[in-house]
Amino acid sequence: LLDGFLADFERIEVDSEIKVQPLFTEPKRVQGEFAVGDDEDISKKTMVSLNWVLGEGKPDLQTNLALSFLNYLLMGTPAAPLYKALVDSGMGSRVIGGGLYDGLLQPVFGVGLKDLKEEDVPKVEELVMEVLTKISQEGFEED
């Protein structure tokens, strides 16, 4: 059955190799729109997500474990500093982009908030960067 259908086509070679995403030298901003219901209040329907590609290829086991551990420290519990800062900000209804995703050729880290006011987007960006900068300079609290 399948041969009968495919017989009308010629075989072609397709390059299906997944290419490495070159790292950006500066931040990029992408803005889009999504559908909301006619009865929904759109004043707090903005989402923001900050994302980073974490290397130029698949990390080795040690690096992958370190990234996973760091992700847990940043986002893994309600008391984790980045997660807590986003929730405590009160700007959005829910944290999105739960941190590390390593199911791609290159691991990525993404975090943000949904259901916030459009004018709060820069505040969320600033908050995320402040928390990450503080942790990189001072480390994590002991408890």
DSSP for 107-132, written as a single string:
-EEEEEEEEE-GGGHHHHHHHHHHHH
CATH superfamily, with its number, for domain 40-143: Metalloenzyme, LuxS/M16 peptidase-like (3.30.830.10)
Mean pLDDT in residue range 122-143: 95
Distance CA 5, CA 128 (A): 53
Structural tokens at position 8: 């009308």
Per-chain mean pLDDT for the chain: 94
Mean pLDDT in residue range 57-85: 96
Look-up of token digits 């908050």: 127
Say whether pLDDT at 143 is over 80: no
Q: What percent of the chain has pLDDT over 70?
A: 99
Mean pLDDT in residue range 107-128: 97
Q: How confident is the model at residue 7 (pLDDT cuts 50, 70, 90)?
A: confident
pLDDT of the residue at 1? 67
Distance CA 92, CA 88 (A): 9
State the amino acid at position 51 in one-letter form: N
Mean pLDDT in residue range 57-62: 93
Mean pLDDT in residue range 25-53: 92
Q: What is the b/e burial string over 18-29, where b = at least 16 CB atoms within 10 angstroms of the residue's CB?
A: eeeeeeeeeeee
